[in-house]
């Protein structure tokens, strides 16, 4: 059976023409037009995977460039057997090689390429050496480059020199006063490859030389003067050598191409296949197509399918299913309602998938691979064969019945039409039964109410209709499966102006059973519309809830992200506070050490008192800085003027004063805070003006320029022996404060036994000290009553 005719009825050839327009060169176009659906399930899966991979790669990397190349199999086969081929044919071979090289370069940039496409790309064999040899030697289809060989370059140089010599001699002749009156024109021309001058025929004997040509009128003779004969002869000889060298170069290039003929021909064939595959991908983008699920069990489920040959601005997406819950679909409804389009869409989509094309439908659409796709669609009345419409349809259906089996998709348009309605309906039902016995999957359109009843009463057969809007007298082209269609003849006629009495009389003439059936269908249609409205509302609410859920999840994710950012910010701030506390603690320890070294100074008492006061103030500032609730910000503040060296500033984020020691460098300025020099952003500084500077210790105090490390060795005992009470208590306070900073738990205070006055003063002071938890006298081995052991909080 001629299956090509059935696919043509489904208009597959028009889709293949669309595909051919996307190809890059003639052979690919011809092969695209000749594509036939594959009936092998695994082959179809392979074709779909290739197109899907090309579709994905095109989205990521763009479509590869394939030049408009020529078929070079013929020239290559001639070259393979030793024949020389033309310059144009060699250039075509170079163009094929350049295209192969470009595709291989494009392949190298791609990732995650499917194995099927990779296999095709692996068939492409590059030959840059042959490509460069051809393109460097040949300038055009008629010209070899001078650099094609050294001999050719040398010969052509000699030809130019000989020509210049001949022209020089002839220029003297044509500009000579002696010969001027003999010449028709003062020009030098060429005849038969030799330089000549035009001489008046009456003066032919005045110019000695060889006559090579005569003008049409006979008034002019083209004479080669004897003085240039030798130069012309030399040019003639050189031309012969040039042609010999050209023939040798072409033969060498032809032989080189012939060596790789098989590789290039195989690569060219792979080029055709790749061009068609990427043409399928480009067509899929134009159709907004998706990858279908390919099955082999006869199930077809098209979701929002759009017929590719209908203008995208006017096409109405439709859902079509067959083969899962029912094997036969009976489509009814008024003419021009879209029944035939639905039928063709069903068959065409299966055929397209079997050709490896993606489908203009939603993701998740399913098609099956059938052994036969048989269609009887359209008016096939034949005057030549004296066949009526009914006879033509029956002829096709007989052939379909002879071919159909359990893996066949049968599409029947207007089944049983063109004859008596009663007989036609009965015949249609009988044909459907026979096809169902064969196990076929069937979709048929009809106007017969009997077939609607057949579908209602027969398991595995389902009604469907193309929706029609009676109010506007226009179809919506939506296929409604599970709903028998109404002819709407009365409503349409009445809307078009047919009298009400005629319509009422027509209803009276209808059988009661038919009227009841139409009423049932009408009620079903009304219920369907109501349910569809409720379904649309439920879908809208579900989509709204889904959007809210997504918004909530997005908000939750944002809150989680914000929480992580806040935690990280808090960690950073805590780290900064710890570093500041370490810095200030170290500075305090350094200052304590410095004061201790100056205990012999006469101002020692005043310095100690002042240091103690400053110590308490700094401890309060450290406590404030460690409070995480206090937020320090410099937002909204701008420096009143440009900072200069010597300015007092406040470092906002650490609440520390400093002095500018260098002019600003861009957005940063170098500041000395205490003994630390650092670069601080201008946004983090406030200028301190009109405030007295802090008093500093006298010059007798040496300010240390380096700090001790915090992990320095801290003493756990202090020796107060030999000190006055006031001096001893000051030293004790400084020692306790430094011990607290160093996180010591227990300290030893050596006061000696003596009169006991110093011991009594120390213990009285310890009772009142806020950092002391408890204390005791030493025991045997610790110093007994000469020492006091204190536990710190």
Is 396 one of the annotated binding-site residues? Answer: no
Is 338 one of the annotated binding-site residues? Answer: yes
Is 339 one of the annotated binding-site residues? Answer: yes
CA distances from 738 to 593, 596, 609, 749, 768 (A): 10, 13, 16, 14, 18
Is 337 one of the annotated binding-site residues? Answer: yes
Is 333 one of the annotated binding-site residues? Answer: yes
Q: C-alpha angle 296/299/303, rounded to 5°? A: 125
Residues contacting 8, CB < 8 A, separation 6+: none
Enumerate the H helices of 380-420 as residue ranges.
389-403
Residues 281, 58 contacting (CB under 8 angstroms): yes
Across 641-655, b (16+ Cβ under 10 Å) vs e yields eebeeebbbbbbbbe
Q: C-alpha angle 393/397/398, rounded to 5°? A: 120
Residue 662 φ then ψ, to 5°: -155, 150
Is 679 one of the annotated binding-site residues? Answer: no
Element (H, E) at 372: strand 372-376
Give the number of other CB atoms < 10 A from CB of residue 769.
17
Residue 337 φ then ψ, to 5°: -90, -5
Residues contacting 585, CB < 8 A, separation 6+: 622, 710, 741
Task: Compute the distance between CA of residue 341 and CA of residue 355 in angstroms, rounded to an integer.
Answer: 20
Q: Which long-range contacts (CB under 8 A, 24 or more apart) does 140-148 make?
A: 140/87, 140/91, 141/86, 141/87, 141/88, 141/91, 142/87, 143/87, 144/87, 144/246, 144/249, 144/250, 148/246, 148/249
Residues 643, 649 contacting (CB under 8 angstroms): yes
Rg (CA), the chain: 52
Is 334 one of the annotated binding-site residues? Answer: yes
Give the number of other CB atoms < 10 A from CB of residue 452.
22
Residues 475, 334 contacting (CB under 8 angstroms): yes
CA distances from 431 to 394, 437, 582, 590 (A): 10, 10, 97, 109
| Helix, coil or strand: residue 655 | coil
Q: C-alpha angle 443/447/449, rounded to 5°? A: 100
| Helix, coil or strand: residue 214 | strand
Nearest Cα residue to 376 out of 350, 348, 396: 396
Task: Compute the distance between CA of residue 758 and CA of residue 764 in angstroms, rounded to an integer.
Answer: 10
Across 317-354, b (16+ Cβ under 10 Å) vs e yields ebbbbbbeebbbbbbbbbeebbbbbbbbbbbbbbbbbb
Across 357-390, b (16+ Cβ under 10 Å) vs e yields bbbbbeeebbbbbbebbbbbbeeeeeeeeeeebb
CA distances from 632 to 109, 430, 567, 625 (A): 52, 91, 17, 9
Task: Compute the distance between CA of residue 311 and CA of residue 291 in angstroms, rounded to an integer.
Answer: 21
The annotated binding site is made up of 333-340
The annotated binding site for ATP is made up of 333-340
């Amino acid at each position: 059976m001629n299956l090509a005719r059935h696919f043509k009825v489904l208009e597959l050839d028009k889709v293949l023409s669309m595909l051919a327009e996307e190809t890059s060169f003639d052979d690919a176009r011809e092969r695209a037009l000749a594509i036939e659906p594959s009936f092998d399930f695994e082959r179809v899966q392979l074709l779909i995977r290739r197109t899907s991979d090309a579709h994905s790669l095109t989205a990521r990397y763009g479509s590869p460039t394939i030049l408009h190349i020529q078929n070079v199999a013929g020239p290559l086969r001639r070259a393979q057997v030793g024949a020389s081929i033309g310059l144009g044919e060699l250039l075509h071979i170079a163009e094929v090689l350049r295209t192969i090289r470009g595709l291989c370069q494009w392949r190298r940039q791609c990732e995650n390429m499917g194995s099927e496409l990779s296999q095709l790309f692996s068939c492409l064999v590059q030959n840059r050496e042959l490509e460069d040899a051809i393109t460097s030697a040949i300038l055009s289809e008629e010209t070899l480059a001078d650099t094609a060989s050294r001999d050719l370059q040398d010969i052509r140089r000699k030809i130019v020199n000989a020509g210049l010599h001949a022209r020089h001699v002839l220029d003297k002749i044509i500009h000579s006063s002696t010969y001027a009156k003999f010449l028709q024109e003062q020009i030098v021309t060429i005849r038969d490859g030799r330089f000549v001058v035009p001489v008046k025929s009456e003066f032919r004997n005045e110019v000695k030389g060889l006559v090579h040509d005569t003008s049409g009128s006979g008034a002019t003779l083209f004479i080669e003067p004897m003085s240039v004969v030798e130069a012309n002869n030399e040019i003639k000889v050189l031309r012969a050598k040039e042609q010999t060298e050209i023939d040798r170069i072409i033969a060498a290039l032809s032989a080189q191409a012939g060596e790789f003929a098989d590789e290039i021909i195989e690569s060219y064939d792979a080029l055709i296949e790749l061009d068609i595959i990427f043409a399928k991908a480009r067509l899929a983008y134009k159709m907004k197509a998706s990858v279908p699920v390919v099955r082999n069990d006869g199930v077809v489920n098209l979701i929002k399918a759009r017929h590719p040959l209908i203008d995208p601005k006017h096409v109405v997406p439709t859902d079509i299913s067959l083969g899962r819950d029912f094997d036969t679909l009976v489509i009814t409804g008024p003419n021009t309602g879209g029944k035939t389009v639905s039928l063709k869409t069903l068959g065409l989509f299966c055929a397209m998938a079997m050709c490896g094309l993606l489908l203009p439908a939603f993701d998740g659409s399913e098609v099956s691979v059938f052994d036969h796709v048989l269609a009887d669609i359209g008016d096939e009345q034949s005057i030549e064969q004296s066949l009526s419409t009914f006879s033509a349809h029956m002829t096709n259906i007989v052939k379909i019945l002879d071919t159909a089996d359990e893996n066949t998709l049968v599409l029947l348009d207007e089944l049983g039409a063109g004859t008596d309605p009663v007989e036609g309906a009965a015949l249609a039902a009988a044909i459907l039964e026979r096809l169902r016995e064969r196990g076929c999957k069937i979709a048929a359109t009809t106007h017969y109410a009997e077939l609607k009843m057949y579908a209602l009463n027969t398991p595995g057969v389902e009604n469907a209709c193309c929706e029609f809007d009676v109010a506007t007298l226009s179809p919506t082209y939506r296929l409604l499966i599970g709903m028998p269609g109404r002819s709407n003849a009365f409503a349409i006629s009445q809307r078009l102006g047919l009298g009400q009495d005629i319509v009422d009389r027509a209803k009276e003439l209808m059988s009661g059973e038919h009227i009841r059936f139409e009423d049932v269908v009408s009620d079903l249609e009304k219920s369907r519309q109501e349910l569809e409205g409720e379904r649309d509302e439920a879908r809208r609410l579900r989509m709204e809830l889904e959007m809210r859920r997504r918004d909530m999840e997005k908000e939750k994710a944002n809150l989680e992200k914000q929480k992580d950012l806040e935690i990280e910010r808090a960690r950073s701030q805590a780290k900064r506070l710890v570093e500041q506390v370490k810095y200030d603690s170290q500075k305090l320890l350094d200052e304590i050490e410095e004061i201790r070294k100056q205990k012999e100074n006469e101002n020692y008492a005043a310095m100690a008192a002042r240091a103690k006061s400053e110590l308490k103030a700094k401890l309060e500032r450290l406590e404030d800085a460690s409070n995480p609730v206090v937020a320090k910000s410099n937002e909204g503040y701008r420096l009143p003027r440009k900072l200069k060296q010597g300015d007092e500033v406040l470092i906002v984020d650490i609440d520390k004063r400093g002095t500018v020691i260098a002019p600003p460098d861009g957005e940063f300025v170098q500041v000395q805070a205490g003994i630390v020099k650092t670069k601080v952003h201008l946004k983090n500084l406030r200028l301190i003006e009109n405030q007295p500077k802090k008093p500093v210790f006298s010059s007798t105090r040496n300010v240390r320029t380096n700090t001790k490390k915090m992990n320095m060795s801290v003493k756990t005992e202090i020796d107060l022996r030999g000190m006055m009470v006031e001096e001893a208590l000051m030293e004790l306070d400084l020692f306790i404060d430094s011990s607290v900073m160093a996180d010591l738990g227990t300290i030893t205070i050596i006061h000696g036994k003596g009169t006991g006055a110093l011991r009594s003063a120390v213990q009285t002071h310890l009772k009142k000290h806020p950092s002391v938890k408890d204390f005791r006298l030493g025991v045997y081995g610790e110093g007994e009553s000469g020492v006091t052991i204190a536990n710190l909080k």
